[in-house]
Amino acid sequence: MAMEASEIAQLIKEALPDAQVTIEDLRGDGDHYAAQVISSAFVGKSRVQQHQMVYAALRGRMGDQLHALALQTSAPK
């Protein structure tokens, strides 16, 4: 089962309401995405913690409906 880019963005924005989310379908298969997420919730968090926050937002879909997600996360400048 593939996920739509819009669904990924929506889940992230629900968990991180101020997030700026950009999603790119890397292979056109709805299964391999790259995401750039910018959120003030990331301030003071390590890169690992930021990624964990995004994975938590996906509510267990990683590895099931979503095979691969290359993440770039940061706090606003």
In this prediction, residue 71 carries a pLDDT of: 97
Q: What is 5-74's CATH topology? A: GMP Synthetase; Chain A, domain 3 (3.30.300)
What is the pTM for the complete model shown? 0.90
Calculate mean pLDDT across residues 67-72.
92
Considering only the C-alpha atoms of the chain, give the largest distance between any 2 of them, rounded to a whole number of Å: 36
Q: What is the pLDDT of residues 24-59, one digit of tens each?
A: 999 888 888 999 999 999 999 999 999 999 999 998
- What confidence tier does 70 reach under pLDDT thresholds 50, 70, 90? very high
- Domain boundaries, given as residue ranges, for the chain: 5-74
Task: Pick the closest to residue 4 from 29, 27, 21, 22 (CA basis).
Answer: 29
Residue 1's pLDDT is 60
Which CA distances in Å does 29 have to 20, 26, 32, 45, 56? Answer: 23, 8, 7, 32, 23
